[in-house]
Structure 1
Amino acid sequence: MRRTWSARRKFGTWRRIWLALAESQHELGLAVTTAQVTALRAHLDDIDFANADAHEARLRHDVMAHVHAYGDAVPQARGIIHLGATSQDVVCNADTLILRDALSIIAEKLARTIDRASTFATEYRALPTLGWTHFQPAQPTTVGKRATLWAQDLAIALSEIEGRIDGMRLRGLRGATGTQASYLGLLGGDAAKVEDLEQRFAAKLGWPTDRRWPVCGQTYPRLVDAQILSSLAIAAAAVHKCCNDLRLLANLKEIEEPFEAEQIGSSAMAYKRNPMRCERATGLARFVMNLSGNGLDTAATQWLERTLDDSANRRLSLPEAFLALDGALDILTNVLGGLVVHRASIRARLDAELPFMASEDILLAATARGADRQHAHEVIRVHSQAAGHAVKSEGKPNDLLARLRSEPLFAGLDLDVLLDASAYIGRAPEQVDAFVTEVVQPIRTRYRATLADEPRVRV
């Protein structure tokens, strides 16, 4: 991702755009020679950044600075570089190519997180665990089913990113205000040749010729940036939710992120096992989520065909959103691939709460044997409240079952059978299987070439 947003990639792409323009103009018979095109092609990547900086210090215009720097490298082609073009014929098209590639990297990394979460979900598809709503004990689920919720959020984010990629359009060669007047003048007023020029230009950049904006002002629609930043924010929210859940589960001592043998959790409290990877990922994700407003502000405040106050903002908000999300996804991939599950802690918490959750089944079993439903309900209610008070106010273990066993009303009922946690998880294991087959497997197929890649995490 750093290479994608590097100065070398940016200005190297500018030169490829100037080459594609010159080649297309040469093919249509304009005064651009084969020798000039050949010379431009030979100097795509030997960029003298110091020379370009010196030109920009003098000219105060970044595109013209690089026009001059390219011309210094290829003096025989100096006079035809940028012929008929405006700055945004270069910048907008280059940005589109870079954004497409950056989105593709994010898509690949989202696919990896989905794969890791789903592998974990399959392994623990049937392991009962206490569910939580309002962060209060709720009906049991399974460790694997909970992981599918993370994977599903990430899959929604992947769909968003793929949609953005599919919706990308090239600005093309439109000139200063989008009317193509300069190219029409170069080509003798022949509108068909102007269209031919733009199609050739797009094809030389490896871009489908039918995926160009039908109209534009000086730039491509800045709502595109808002869409992209919003899609990145959705992905960041999915990362944040997953990592926050893991931080809560670490506090419950049920599931933890990887922790190295010599890792230190706190400089003062030697026993600490802080979930620092998930903390880092949530910090990055929050940064990305809060960048999304920049795209909306930029799109909303463009004046007529364009105003330049978009430029400085875009140079920060777009690359930084991608770079931060890229790092967060690398961390999450690492975490999901090395989660530590503490079965005993999971079982202990479930055992502490399950008697309360089994109370309805105990009530039904008693009434099935002829007990008065309202009387049985009251007996269970009184003992449940007393057991709950003992747990919360006196720190005692949950003794609800012992209390109920002492009641003649429940004599002969096998209460232990009613405390089988697997009886309370519904279709969770089957839901995991269906999710992996229907949602994850197609993603694994699409991204199989890069799915096994492991990120280098330095946190």
Structure 2
Amino acid sequence: MSGLFSPRTRYSTWRKLWLNLAIAEKQLGLTAITDEAIEQLRAHVTITDEEIDAASAQEKIVRHDVMSHVHVYGVAAPSAAGIIHLGATSCFVTDNADLIFLRDACDLLVAKLVNVIDRLSAFALEYKDMPVLGWTHFQPAQLTTVGKRATLWIQELLWDLRNIQRARDDIGLRGVKGTTGTQASFLALFDGDHDKVEELDQLVVELLGFKYAYPVTGQTYSRKIDIDVLGPLASLGATAHKMATDLRLLANLKEIEEPFESTQIGSSAMAYKRNPMRCERVCSLARHLTGLYQDTVQTASVQWFERTLDDSAIRRVSIPSAFLTADIVLSTLLNITSGLVVYPKVIERRINSELPFMATENIIMAMVQKGQSRQECHEKIRVLSHQAARVVKEEGGDNDLIERVKKDDYFSPIWDELDKLLDPSTFVGRAPQQTDKFVKVTVSAALAPFKKYLTSEKVELSV
């Protein structure tokens, strides 16, 4: 991602655009463009470090980045010096290059995202049957399973995959539109031949590997395109933040932890600490990512007529920042999901502390089947439940509701059924089946077009 948004890639892409514009113009009959000019442009399409420095020095003189690079490219390809940028405005290279970067950057994110989904799906299948205490309002709720909870994260990641891919596939080129989008300069080049101007636009699109050009533009492509692309990245940030927050809370509960190396230090003072620093990093960067989206909304809203230049500086910051941030968020999630650690005994102990209260309805139903009154049973179990709750909350003791049931002769008809009534697997509903079907059907179908990206490569974080 850093390479994609580097000066070398940017300026080499400008040269690629100038080369293909010249190829298309020559193909449509502009005799001023020679075969030698095309060959020289092609030979120097990748800019060198020395040429980048030369263009920078030239820009200090002329105060124009594009014209500086036209000059330096012309020095490298002297036979083409007079026809580089023929008929074009600066946005032919700057905007078309940005659209190429948006497309290619989405591809890089998709490649990482599908691997996060794939590894998290393997985790979900592995733990699809393991009961775990569910939480609503971060208060104990009905049981679910470790795997089922993971499917909630996966589903949102699948939506992010859909949204990023959809935005990527919708990106077109600005094409060859001229200074205010009217194509007047190209119409002059082709002696008023409208068909050739349209053919030129389409030919450049095809040479650069795009499906279409936006049918109308001002000098720039509409900045709403940036909204369309960075919106899904902001949404990914929200997903990542929610997932990482859940894992941070689970780390506090000591149920699930992110990977922790044997030599890793959690705190300079508290040697026992195992801080969820990777998930904290995800949350930190995700907040930055969601905030960058506002740059695109504000910028698109204040563009004047065919263009203004107050979009330039902010886009050079916010667009690369958004993709670089999304990229490291996904790299970190890939590292996390490749090594999640589950502590079954802690999970079991927490279930056992809450399950007796959740089992009261099952106990009532079992007693009714033995011929007892529901209302009478409800009152007896209510009293015992409040007694047990008082022990937990006021005395700091364990939940002894079941022990109280076992000591009350009223419940003797179901004493031999209590173990079955308290089996956690009977409280998770269809969580295992939902998880299995979701991963094997929904996730499998969603990832099918992206199998070429799947890898088992381990992702290491430098720090």
Specify if TM > 0.5. Answer: yes
Residue in 1 that maps onto 2:459: 455
Once the two structures are superposed, residues 110-157 of structure 1 have per-residue CA deviations (whole angstroms, 9 ceiling, x without a partner) of 111110110000001100000011000100000011111111110010
Kindly tell me the number of residue pairs found equivalent between the two proteins: 457
The farther-off stretch of 316-325 and 43-52 is: 43-52
Aligned residue identity for 2:325 = A
Q: Is the 8 A contact 1:371 1:409 kept in 2?
A: no
Residue in 2 that maps onto 1:265: 266
Aligned residue identity for 1:416 = D
In the alignment, the residues of structure 2 paired with residue 232 and residue 394 of structure 1 have an alpha-carbon distance, to the nearest angstrom, of 49
Residue in 1 that maps onto 2:114: 111
In the alignment, the residues of structure 1 paired with residue 183 and residue 442 of structure 2 have an alpha-carbon distance, to the nearest angstrom, of 45
Aligned residue identity for 1:321 = A
Name the SS for the 1:266 alignment partner: coil
In the alignment, the residues of structure 2 paired with residue 439 and residue 369 of structure 1 have an alpha-carbon distance, to the nearest angstrom, of 44
In the alignment, the residues of structure 2 paired with residue 216 and residue 46 of structure 1 have an alpha-carbon distance, to the nearest angstrom, of 29
Residue in 2 that maps onto 1:294: 295
In the alignment, the residues of structure 2 paired with residue 315 and residue 383 of structure 1 have an alpha-carbon distance, to the nearest angstrom, of 66
Q: Is the 8 A contact 1:258 1:339 kept in 2?
A: yes
Residue in 2 that maps onto 1:55: 58
Once the two structures are superposed, residues 176-214 of structure 1 have per-residue CA deviations (whole angstroms, 9 ceiling, x without a partner) of 111111100111000000011111111111222xx2211
In the alignment, the residues of structure 2 paired with residue 370 and residue 68 of structure 1 have an alpha-carbon distance, to the nearest angstrom, of 96
The farther-off stretch of 377-386 and 11-20 is: 377-386
Name the SS for the 1:447 alignment partner: helix
Correspondence list, 1:140-151, <5 A = 140-151=143-154
Once the two structures are superposed, residues 323-372 of structure 1 have per-residue CA deviations (whole angstroms, 9 ceiling, x without a partner) of 01100101111111101110100100001100011111111111222222
In the alignment, the residues of structure 2 paired with residue 123 and residue 255 of structure 1 have an alpha-carbon distance, to the nearest angstrom, of 14
Name the SS for the 2:339 alignment partner: coil
Name the SS for the 1:140 alignment partner: strand
Identity within the alignment, %: 51
Residue in 2 that maps onto 1:200: 203
Name the SS for the 1:141 alignment partner: strand
Residue in 1 that maps onto 2:176: 173
Residue in 1 that maps onto 2:67: 64
Correspondence list, 1:396-407, <5 A = 396-407=397-408
1:8 equivalent in alignment to 2:11: no
Correspondence list, 1:289-438, <5 A = 289-413=290-414, 414-438=417-441
In the alignment, the residues of structure 1 paired with residue 420 and residue 298 of structure 2 have an alpha-carbon distance, to the nearest angstrom, of 61
Once the two structures are superposed, residues 53-84 of structure 1 have per-residue CA deviations (whole angstroms, 9 ceiling, x without a partner) of 11111111111111111112222211111010
Superposed displacement of residue 52, structure 1: 0.6
Name the SS for the 2:125 alignment partner: helix
Residue in 2 that maps onto 1:446: 449
In the alignment, the residues of structure 2 paired with residue 225 and residue 202 of structure 1 have an alpha-carbon distance, to the nearest angstrom, of 19
Name the SS for the 2:45 alignment partner: coil
Q: Is the 8 A contact 1:366 1:409 kept in 2?
A: no
Residue in 2 that maps onto 1:34: 35
In the alignment, the residues of structure 2 paired with residue 46 and residue 325 of structure 1 have an alpha-carbon distance, to the nearest angstrom, of 28
Q: Is the 8 A contact 2:125 2:435 kept in 1?
A: yes
Superposed displacement of residue 407, structure 1: 2.2
Aligned residue identity for 2:462 = R
In the alignment, the residues of structure 2 paired with residue 117 and residue 345 of structure 1 have an alpha-carbon distance, to the nearest angstrom, of 21
Once the two structures are superposed, residues 263-283 of structure 1 have per-residue CA deviations (whole angstroms, 9 ceiling, x without a partner) of 000000000000111111111
Residue in 1 that maps onto 2:155: 152
Name the SS for the 1:125 alignment partner: coil
Structure 1 gaps, min length 5 = none
Aligned residue identity for 1:6 = S
The farther-off stretch of 374-383 and 425-434 is: 374-383
Superposed displacement of residue 454, structure 1: 3.4
TM-score, scaled to structure 1: 0.98
Residue in 1 that maps onto 2:225: 224
In the alignment, the residues of structure 2 paired with residue 2 and residue 105 of structure 1 have an alpha-carbon distance, to the nearest angstrom, of 11
Structure 2 gaps, min length 5 = none
1:91 equivalent in alignment to 2:103: no
Q: Is the 8 A contact 2:8 2:47 kept in 1?
A: no
Name the SS for the 1:277 alignment partner: helix
Q: Is the 8 A contact 1:123 1:144 kept in 2?
A: yes
Superposition CA RMSD, Å: 1.1
Q: Is the 8 A contact 2:259 2:336 kept in 1?
A: yes
Correspondence list, 1:175-194, <5 A = 175-194=178-197
In the alignment, the residues of structure 1 paired with residue 127 and residue 343 of structure 2 have an alpha-carbon distance, to the nearest angstrom, of 12
Q: Is the 8 A contact 1:111 1:443 kept in 2?
A: no
Name the SS for the 2:82 alignment partner: helix
Q: Is the 8 A contact 1:131 1:141 kept in 2?
A: yes
1:75 equivalent in alignment to 2:78: yes
In the alignment, the residues of structure 1 paired with residue 452 and residue 206 of structure 2 have an alpha-carbon distance, to the nearest angstrom, of 26
Superposed displacement of residue 322, structure 1: 0.5
Q: Is the 8 A contact 2:11 2:47 kept in 1?
A: no
Name the SS for the 2:451 alignment partner: coil
Once the two structures are superposed, residues 196-236 of structure 1 have per-residue CA deviations (whole angstroms, 9 ceiling, x without a partner) of 1111111111222xx22111111111111011111101111
